[in-house]
Structure 1
């Protein structure tokens, strides 16, 4: 990894604790400073207050913990739109994550302003390659 990237802050938003933890671990081992969010509003707030240089968002997250999986929403898309629609945060690169590899999800992510899109599961080297490319 490029030494100039060490210490850069990355915001990770995913509703699944094990995914948040795994992504955080990979990034911290590479020398990044990582902040995490488990809810959309928290991610939007942190995008403005934590000064991240890159944001990783899960495309599908529940609005409420008690929602059934069938009622899951595209909260990550809404978060991406909010970040890209704010003059303060619009230039921060965003990587969208999804368990679905569907063309529609990729198109929704692009329309929301995402800079990249990855399908879960992914390996750590693929994640690092994309993070480094967007931060270079």
Structure 2
């Protein structure tokens, strides 16, 4: 019951706080900048909110979009993203937790959503190279 409540709050928060800015943040930078953004070398385009994904507590990359429905997390990555997430997708690095950080304009983490025992269920790849990951999880929390 608590998981459903947290899921509902996360969805409402993401929709309320990020719906307008997610659309602008989902337009990735052009060319080699996309790779630099994904590796954390430079900051992503500044918008009201941005999202970052953390693998087992360590920063992995900035992400374009995120949504939660039930026990399913959907994450859209910028094209050209190369990070520990790629190794996790290949099965060479197990994940105990995936965290999504809601970032302010100065890239400070405002809120963290944690997803425990994540399992990659599906990967969709768009024509521009952007990947959308569908991730199942057993439990979630926020702080």
TM-score bracket for this pair, using the shorter chain length: under 0.3
TM-score of the aligned structures, taking structure 2 as reference length = 0.27
| Normalised TM-score (structure 1) | 0.28
